[in-house]
């Protein structure tokens, strides 16, 4: 067994030298994003003078949806030529989702000068993949010379992602065929609650989306403004959010602890939901907002175990938070960190309180595999060598001052399991897209390592 464990460690260290394309682990399929309409033919004298796009994120979504938004896009078009132009204006309604499927935008409505117009379907090149034809809607518009024509497009946009994150996209580059540049563009995102850097992810890339920089938060809105630009794919808009259902849990638990500040269960649940939106399936949110969420989760767990010192589940859930964060922050670092030591303290206490609890045992096993070099598994449980070899601070400091490192997506095993009294249903993740085929293969080496030692890590989905 010792020889196999050494082999595991050698393979893990060797994996550090494997190049990786991204830190994140998943790339869900692309749902058809909204986009600017395009002219029927090149060479038009009609210019897009201004556009305003409002993405109104819905608070309630049906089962199986990570998030939906109602999109309203208003365009001011002006014919700069001396002759009238009549044409079919095109709008893409579908795109390859990465599996050879073509889901369509829902509830599409189009208005020209405040009047609803009929549309017809055609097949044109995929706006995302520039490959096989996909469905587009076409509607006829007459553009008199030197007159503004108002076009409004509305539809329902499905988000993409993996719990607890959702992303929305908007394509500007389909408007490149109009005359000249786009005069100005305002893009407004409206949330069903106050926007802040914790629920709008500005400072980290979540694997399939990286929020377009420059957004300004004001109440429930985030606004972007662009001037005089030639739309290219690099201009296309991305938005990364904590999915509304996940953020609503944060708001609910914040309200619970404000109402009942001595309720240890409420504090534990708050720590758990902060942890859910701070930890990725492999890794954790980087940047200032991620650090703040980590500290908020620590503070809430501290309150929970202070008010309920004999509750094994909250000790174990706290240990899970600290251990996973320490593992990803200090992977391949042999020096003990305070977070790592505290994680061992907390899981050791949980095992003392409830040695036969299945969730406590599951998290203890997780910590064993995360720190296999310093935890010994025996017939009677676990020996946490660092707890006996290293003095334990009387008043522990819970966060490490070491800088956060960016880890290859290929190195670590899946590493989140959360202790809670009740199990929650979480949407399942979606497979990788063809845009990032390597993402689906990064689990191969860690799973082989788990097979070598006759164990398999569990991802509880909690």
Is the domain of 236 the same as that of 251?
A: no
Decide if pLDDT at 122 tops 70: yes
Output the pLDDT for position 33: 59
The pLDDT-based confidence of 282 (bands split at 50, 70, 90) is confident
Residues above pLDDT 90, as percent of the chain: 51
Say what the pTM is. 0.76
Output the pLDDT for position 97: 67
The pLDDT-based confidence of 389 (bands split at 50, 70, 90) is low
Residue 339 inside a domain? The answer is yes
Is the domain of 393 the same as that of 374?
A: yes
Is the domain of 140 the same as that of 38?
A: yes
Q: What is the pLDDT of residues 22-41, one digit of tens each?
A: 222 233 445 555 778 888 76
Is the domain of 314 the same as that of 419?
A: yes
The percent of the chain in helix, strand and coil, each rounded to the nearest 5, is 30, 25, 45
Domain-terminating residue out of 189, 221, 242: 242
Is the domain of 156 the same as that of 197?
A: yes
Is the domain of 235 the same as that of 261?
A: no
Instruction: Give the integer Cα–Cα distance in Å for 439 and 448.
Output: 17
Q: Identify the CATH number of the domain in which residue 434 sits.
A: 1.25.40.10
Phi, psi of 15 (to 5 degrees): -65, -25
Residue 437 inside a domain? The answer is yes
- Summarize the confidence of residues 350-372 as an average pLDDT: 95
Looking at the structure of the chain, the number of domains it has is 2
Give the least confident one: 40-49, 71-80, 353-362.
40-49
Domain-terminating residue out of 227, 242, 257: 242
Domain with 369, as residue range(s), is: 2-20+245-452
Output the pLDDT for position 118: 95
Is the domain of 358 the same as that of 374?
A: yes
Output the pLDDT for position 51: 96
Is the domain of 195 the same as that of 123?
A: yes
Domain-terminating residue out of 242, 268, 290: 242
In this structure, are residues 68 and 157 in contact, taking their beta carbons and an 8 Å threshold? yes
Is the domain of 40 the same as that of 127?
A: yes
Residue 94 inside a domain? The answer is yes
Residue 188 inside a domain? The answer is yes
Residue 28 inside a domain? The answer is no
Residue 459 inside a domain? The answer is no
- Summarize the confidence of residues 313-320 as an average pLDDT: 97
Q: Identify the CATH number of the domain in which residue 141 sits.
A: 2.60.40.3680
More confident residue, 202 or 425: 202
More confident residue, 10 or 286: 286
Which of 89-93, 137-141, 174-178, 193-197 has the highest mean predicted lDDT (pLDDT)? Answer: 193-197
Is the domain of 215 the same as that of 364?
A: no
Output the pLDDT for position 424: 31
Is the domain of 255 the same as that of 354?
A: yes
Residue 163 inside a domain? The answer is yes
Decide if pLDDT at 303 tops 50: yes
Residue 461 inside a domain? The answer is no
Is the domain of 205 the same as that of 339?
A: no
Output the pLDDT for position 455: 33
Tokens standing for 250?
Answer: 């944060």
């Amino acid at each position: 067994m010792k020889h196999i464990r050494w082999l595991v460690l050698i393979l893990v260290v060797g994996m550090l030298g494997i190049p990786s394309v991204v830190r994140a682990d998943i790339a869900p399929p692309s749902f058809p994003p909204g986009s600017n309409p395009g002219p029927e033919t090149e060479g038009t004298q009609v210019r897009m003078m201004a556009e305003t796009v409002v993405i109104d994120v819905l608070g309630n979504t049906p089962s199986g949806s990570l998030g939906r938004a109602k999109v309203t896009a208003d365009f001011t078009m002006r014919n700069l030529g001396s002759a009238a132009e009549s044409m079919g204006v095109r709008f893409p309604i579908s795109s390859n989702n990465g599996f050879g499927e073509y889901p369509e935008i829902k509830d599409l409505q189009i208005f020209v000068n405040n009047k609803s117009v009929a549309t017809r379907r055609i097949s044109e090149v995929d706006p995302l993949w520039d490959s096989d034809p996909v469905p587009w809607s076409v509607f006829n518009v007459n553009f008199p010379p030197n007159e503004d024509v108002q076009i409004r497009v509305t539809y329902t946009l499905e988000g993409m992602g993996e719990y607890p994150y959702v992303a929305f996209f908007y394509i500007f580059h389909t408007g490149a065929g109009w005359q000249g540049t786009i005069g100005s563009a305002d893009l407004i995102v409206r949330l069903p609650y106050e926007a802040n850097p914790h629920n709008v992810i500005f400072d980290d890339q979540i694997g399939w989306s990286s929020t377009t920089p420059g957004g300004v938060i004001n109440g429930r809105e985030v606004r972007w403004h662009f001037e005089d630009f030639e739309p290219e794919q690099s201009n296309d808009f991305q938005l990364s959010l904590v999915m509304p259902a996940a953020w609503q849990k944060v708001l609910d638990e914040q309200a619970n602890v404000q109402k009942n500040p001595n309720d240890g269960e409420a504090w534990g649940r708050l720590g758990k939901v902060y942890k859910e939106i701070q930890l990725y399936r492999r890794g954790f949110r980087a940047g200032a907002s991620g650090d703040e969420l980590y500290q908020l989760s620590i503070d809430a767990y501290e309150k929970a175990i202070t008010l309920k010192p004999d509750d094994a589940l909250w000790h174990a859930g706290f240990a899970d938070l600290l251990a996973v964060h320490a593992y990803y922050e200090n992977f391949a670092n042999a020096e003990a960190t305070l977070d790592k030591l505290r994680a061992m303290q907390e899981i050791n206490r949980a095992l003392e309180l409830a040695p036969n609890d299945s969730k406590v045992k599951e998290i203890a096993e997780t910590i064993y595999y995360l720190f296999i070099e310093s935890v010994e598994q025996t017939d009677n449980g676990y020996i946490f060598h660092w707890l006996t070899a290293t003095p334990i601070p009387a008043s522990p400091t819970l966060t490490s001052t070491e800088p956060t490192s960016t880890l290859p997506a290929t190195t670590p095993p899946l590493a989140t399991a959360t202790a809670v009294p009740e199990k929650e249903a979480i949407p399942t993740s979606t497979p990788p897209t063809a845009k990032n085929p390597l993402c689906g293969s990064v689990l191969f080496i860690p799973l082989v390592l788990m097979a070598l030692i006759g164990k398999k890590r569990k991802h509880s989905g909690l």
